[in-house]
Structures are given as structure tokens and as C-alpha cells.
């Protein structure tokens, strides 16, 4: 058994996959490691490129069979199951590592700190053309060295760049059924690991994350759907952990209920706004530990009587 399994999933990444693989096989380590590639029946030359590297590095690369398209979650799970190392490091096919000592640094840290279940670092963000983007726009700067379950649950943005995470192989087998349909496999993974220990934040950039959004913006309907998915995700996760983190999750659900109530209502007009408001209100009240009537009155002024609110402010 290898000390470290590097997990890499890829689909239609022919422009990037070579860079990703090279950044992994060139790691300087004093232990054995493997690279497990889950290539998901790509329509371009990704598979052929992976096969060339597998032939070149047969003692390192385990290229999984690609007999069909498994989909993002199915491919993730079969690749994770194939990782047998004591530790697992993640890197997707369009990202890559920038430090040849990344695996050694992270393995050394977890070896020396058994109360930590994972570690991760800062990341450099680039676009499809290779231009550097402001990384704080995608991943927040964290002002401390250790993050916990509380930090992950209460954050409204992702704290852990996928290409930098390195963790103990403590994953459930099998995964719960809802994982196959979850909106964010990464977030669930972070929560699973945070349940087992702390997370070390390494203040250095060990990898590159490629942003492929291309400047696209989400419509109000897409934003509403995303909020619905996240909300249901936390309801399901709360049950999965047997309500161990109920207070934290209820706090997160309350903040999300408030966002849905106010910003969701803002996008509606007339009768549609009133219907939406009263549909969302029970959820807001359900996760509120104590009803703040002053706050509710203010929200009602914002949504239904904005001109009156302006006069009151004056």
C-alpha cells in the first residue's frame, strides 16, 4: 500500500491534463505514492493522453477503466474507492500543482499532527488564457492557521481549494446515497473530514485553480435554484451527522432563510412577490431561535413599502 494516493478526475481536459499529470509525477518525496486517474469517457483526446502517461509511469499511475460516462459524482466515488493510500491528495484535470514538494510538506504535517484530519493551502487562480485573476475573489483569505467544522458550516463561500487539499483516508465505504446527487461533493468531503479532526491552513500557494466561467453571470432563477440546493444539502447533512452539529447548522439555515426571504422577494413583483414572501416566511421562523419583530418590520418596509422607508430615514 502506498503512503499517498493522488486522486485525479478528468473529462474533456485535453488542453490541460498533461500539465496536471506532470505536476504530480514530478513530486519530490521520500515515500511511495500513486496517481489514480478517473478518466470519464471523454469526447476529446484526454483518454489517449492519460494512456501515454500511464505507459510512461507504470509504477505510479493507475488509470481506471473508461467503459462509459459515470458522471461527476459517479466518477468521483469510483476514483476515491480506488485510492488505497494512508493519505489522499486531490487534483482535478484542469488544475495543477506549482510546488514539487507539496506532497512531502503536507504528509510531514499530518504525520506530526494526529489531531488534524486534513491540510490545505492558498491557490493561484488563472483563466482559460492563463491570465492571473485575483484569488481572493474566489477563495477568501483566512486569518488563522486552523479551521474547524464551525468555520466550514458558517462560511458562505468555499474555504478549501480542491487542488490543495490533503487528508487522511477516513472516508466512509459506502458513501451515503444522497452523495450521488449532492450539489457539492467537495463541501460534503470537507464536512466529513472536519468531523474527524482539524484542518491546517498553509499560508503559501501550492497549486493553480483554473476558472472556466468565462464571465457568465447567473440568472435570478439559477441563483434561487442554487440556494434551494444548498439549503436542502444542509438539512440532509444535519440528519446524516445525527444532529451532532444541529446548533451550527440551524444558524446557517437561518441565515440562508433570511437571504431567500429578502433577496428572493426582491426579484418578484406584485402578487408573485406576496406569494413568495409568505411561502418563505415559515422557513425563516422555523430556524429563528427568537423572532426579531423589529427586524421583520424592517424587511417588510424594504420589500413592500420602500418609499415609506425612505421618508422614515429622512
**With bands split at pLDDT 50, 70 and 90, how would you rate the model's confidence at 161?**
very high
Mean pLDDT of 33-59: 97
C-alpha cell recorded at residue 311: 421618508
pTM, entire model: 0.89
Give alpha helix (H) positions in 39-124: 46-56, 71-81, 102-112
Give the pLDDT score at 314. Answer: 64
> pLDDT tens digits, residue range 82-132?
999 999 999 999 999 999 999 999 999 999 999 999 999 999 999 877 788
In Å, how far are 73, 95, 150, 285 from 225, measured between CA atoms? 19, 27, 25, 21
| Of the candidates 41, 91, 92, the residue with the CA atom closest to the CA atom of residue 65 | 41
Mean pLDDT of 207-224: 67
**309 pLDDT above the threshold of 70:** no
Give the pLDDT score at 266. Answer: 74
Mean pLDDT of 40-57: 97
| Of the candidates 115, 95, 304, 295, the residue with the CA atom closest to the CA atom of residue 206 | 95
Most confident of 121-135, 160-174, 262-276: 160-174
| Of the candidates 100, 128, 132, 98, the residue with the CA atom closest to the CA atom of residue 16 | 128
Sole residue written with cell 480542491: 162
Give the whole-angstrom CA distance, residue 108 versus residue 230. 35
In Å, how far are 33, 138, 295 from 27, measured between CA atoms? 10, 26, 54
**157 pLDDT above the threshold of 90:** no
> pLDDT tens digits, residue range 170-214?
999 899 998 988 878 899 999 999 999 999 999 999 999 998 654
Interior/surface letters 45-78, b for 16+ CB within 10 angstroms, e for the rest: ebbebbeebbeeeeebbbbbebeeebeeeebbbb
| Burial degree of 142 (CB within 10 A; 0-12, 13-18, 19+) | middle
Give the whole-angstrom CA distance, residue 38 versus residue 143. 35
Give the pLDDT score at 312. Answer: 65
Give the whole-angstrom CA distance, residue 179 versus residue 185. 7
Give the pLDDT score at 122. Answer: 95
Report the phi/psi class of residue 140: left, alpha or beta, with left for phi > 0 and alpha for psi in -120 to 50. Answer: beta
Q: CA 68, 69, 71 angle in degrees (round to 5)?
A: 150
Contact 122, 203 (CB under 8 A): yes
Amino acid at each position: 500500500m502506498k503512503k499517498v494516493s493522488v486522486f485525479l478526475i478528468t473529462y474533456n481536459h485535453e488542453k490541460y491534463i498533461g500539465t496536471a499529470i506532470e505536476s504530480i509525477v514530478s513530486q519530490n518525496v521520500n515515500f511511495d505514492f500513486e496517481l489514480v486517474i478517473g478518466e470519464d469517457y471523454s469526447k476529446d483526446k484526454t483518454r489517449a493522453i492519460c494512456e501515454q502517461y500511464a505507459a510512461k509511469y507504470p509504477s505510479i499511475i493507475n488509470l481506471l477503466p473508461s467503459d462509459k460516462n459515470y458522471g461527476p459524482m459517479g466518477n468521483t466515488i469510483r476514483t476515491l474507492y480506488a485510492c488505497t493510500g494512508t493519505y489522499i491528495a486531490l487534483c482535478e484535470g484542469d488544475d495543477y500543482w506549482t510546488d514539487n514538494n507539496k506532497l512531502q510538506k503536507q504528509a510531514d504535517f499530518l504525520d506530526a499532527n494526529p489531531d488534524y484530519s486534513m491540510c490545505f493551502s492558498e491557490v493561484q487562480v488563472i483563466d482559460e488564457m492563463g491570465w492571473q485573476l485575483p484569488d481572493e475573489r474566489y477563495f477568501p483569505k483566512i486569518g488563522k492557521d486552523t479551521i474547524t467544522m464551525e468555520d466550514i458550516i458558517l462560511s458562505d463561500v468555499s474555504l478549501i481549494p480542491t487542488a490543495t487539499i490533503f487528508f487522511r483516508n477516513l472516508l466512509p465505504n459506502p458513501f451515503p446515497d444522497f452523495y450521488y446527487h449532492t450539489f457539492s461533493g467537495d463541501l460534503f468531503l470537507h464536512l466529513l473530514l472536519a468531523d474527524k479532526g482539524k484542518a491546517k491552513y498553509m499560508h503559501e500557494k501550492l497549486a493553480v485553480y483554473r476558472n472556466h466561467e468565462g464571465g457568465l453571470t447567473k440568472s435570478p432563477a439559477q441563483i434561487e435554484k442554487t440556494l434551494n440546493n444548498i439549503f436542502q444539502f444542509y438539512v440532509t447533512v444535519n440528519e446524516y451527522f445525527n444532529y451532532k452539529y444541529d446548533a451550527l447548522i440551524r444558524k446557517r439555515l437561518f441565515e440562508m432563510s433570511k437571504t431567500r426571504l429578502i433577496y428572493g422577494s426582491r426579484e418578484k413583483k406584485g402578487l408573485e412577490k406576496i406569494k413568495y414572501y409568505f411561502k418563505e416566511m415559515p422557513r425563516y421562523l422555523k430556524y429563528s431561535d427568537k423572532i426579531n419583530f423589529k427586524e421583520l418590520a424592517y424587511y417588510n418596509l424594504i420589500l413592500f413599502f420602500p418609499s415609506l422607508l425612505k421618508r422614515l430615514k429622512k
